[in-house]
A and B are shown apart, each in its own frame.
Chain A
């Protein structure tokens, strides 16, 4: 009996939906030739004050470009969901340039969908494109560790307890470089400063982020920054504990203007407008794109009211040196916090050194462990 019912239920449901299909304008939106549809895919909400908002701000600039239609989808999981979203944007909207922005979209999802859609360009944030991967795939990223170094300078001047804190998602190279840069920036002000790090284990887990921030404040940290997808909780919690804060991903100064020193922000508008212009002009885009402050891939939030004149002077001076190129945060001799040598005398890793993208250590002065 039940089988009969369920089959009938299914058929009648789909038939009802079929009737609905005759309503409404469903065709692909009309598109003049020479125009371009660009798809942006986010792993979280577009207004997360963080990773996704930084990309959405870049997308908003592209949206204002002549002849460009921007389509967006948020909260897309790093599962077959994103494969289907890419296919859907290609099939239903005619998108020919896609920016799936989350790291986990790259392998296997983009690498699986790209060969089936050779006329579509896939540009991915953070991945390491290498020879042998599909030619219509590219990866771009920015040297945001430099921004965390500058955050560290502002923090080094602001801290009274000589202890600063870092709320981190996972112990992976991109995050470790940020933690190390933050501490080394602060140590350029005062070499006795220490940085305590707490890993939450998740990219987006508000409860753990709040707990970690409180634990850092309890342990005496008085300047806090983070690397999680949405820094809002960390910023608000830290400010409520009377700590100074340094932003990350996007500008969080509105959350606590008096406590906000500065922040390391993505400036994806530069990358996106450039890639869209090239695509519309029929010019090729490099498969591996990287840039920093000088290239306009990242930027710093305006310095807050709590930043002292001495801090401002060192901040601006260091920023100018980074802009002129060749600046290295990891300079030998340097040890990790377990005593192993990570850079020998005279060895320096410039921002563009690909070795930094496989960093696996926390430098001396960081309280915490990668495992």
Chain B
């Protein structure tokens, strides 16, 4: 062995470039491989049921992404998921597991439905932003309270947010069946229908409401906040090690309450769009589980606000294809839930491989051989 062999070879621009690419490729390749692994395991499951996996995946593609109608379907379903995933992902950067976005969604919806009755005569340009803002505020208070309970009372935020969601749904039922009920809503108690001028319309050329565009913008803004601002940097530090953050003088309490409130505001907005763009009034249909699917989206996206966008599209596509799969292959409606479960476990399990099958390490090993 030559003298000085243990001195690392000087990095060439090529090697640095390759190493950079390899680092990025790992973050991309691992989830994709995990996704494919999940699909493969599910294919075995289908074979055991005597169904053809190729037909299954082709149907999923066709109904989720294959035609213009499929994209309408998928995008419509994605909008509420984007908001509800942000409600999980934003607090998650502080290490908080908030799973009660459903509560903020229904209360945001009730606020929009109830307040709209008072704003009937207002010009839309004032009333619509006010409705959205108030719905977001209710959501912010609801989930912000979870952060406050944790910071000041030491209450576990996961349990608190989940239990508060049940309270929120009960509160919604009470309000739409009692004080806020439109007497004309006989067999489905609801608030009075929103005035036409207050309804949110569709994106031009699509059957998808504006909530989708707003949600995408919110995802981008959250990414900027978390990755490109000092506040976001502070949040990530506090999420990594709360003691260290406190020692550094970071305002941990303000960050926790602020980030949970911000997440809740997005869930509140989801409720606003459900009422103003889909239902036209607030009623029990607001509690339809978007808050819970959002948890899945956020975890699959590793709480990265930008990654939420494709993940939400993927899951929305699964859900969009659920019906066609039921009808054509005579599979139960739980099929898509099973597929989502396989993918979820597969991607979470793949995280333990991060750094272990690193292309960077492989490149370096070849170098020293």
Contact = CB atoms under 8 A, between A and B. Distances in A.
Interface of A: 1-10, 12-14, 16-18, 20-26, 29, 45, 71-81, 83-85, 87-89, 91-93, 103-104, 107-108, 126, 128, 170-174, 201, 357-358, 371
B36 interface: yes
A82 to B, nearest CB: 10
Closest 7 CB pairs of A and B: A10-B310, A24-B55, A24-B58, A23-B54, A20-B57, A6-B307, A21-B61
Nearest to A84: B73
Given A24-B52, A104-B285, A126 B58 contact: no
A120 B112 CA distance: 33
A360 to B, nearest CB: 9
Given A87-B73, A103-B187, A5 B28 contact: yes
Contacts of A87: 69, 72-73
Given A13-B32, A108-B280, A26 B186 contact: no
Contacts of A22: 58
B326 A172 contact: no
Contacts of B52: 24
A84 B58 contact: no
Given A6-B307, A72-B326, A80-B278, A358 B186 contact: yes
B114 interface: no
Contacts of B278: 79-80, 108
Contacts of B341: none
Nearest to B67: A91
Contact of A84 (B77, B187, B274): B77
Contact of B55 (A25, A77, A91): A25
Contacts of A93: 327
B interface secondary structure, majority: helix
B188 A104 contact: yes
B323 to A, nearest CB: 5
B58 A2 contact: no
B121 interface: no
Contacts of A74: 326, 333
Contacts of B227: 2
Contacts of B27: 1-2, 5
Contacts of A2: 27, 223, 227, 304, 306-307
Given A5-B28, A23-B54, A73-B326, 18 more contacts: A6-B304, A12-B28, A16-B32, A17-B57, A17-B61, A20-B57, A20-B58, A20-B60, A21-B61, A21-B62, A24-B59, A73-B323, A78-B288, A83-B76, A84-B320, A88-B323, A89-B327, A172-B189
B285 A172 contact: no
A37 to B, nearest CB: 10
A173 B185 CA distance: 10
Nearest to A371: B178
With most chain A CB atoms within 10 A of its CB, the pick from B61, B69, B170, B189 is: B61
Nearest to A42: B333
B65 interface: yes
Nearest to B333: A75
With most chain A CB atoms within 10 A of its CB, the pick from B284, B285, B327 is: B327
A78 B73 contact: no
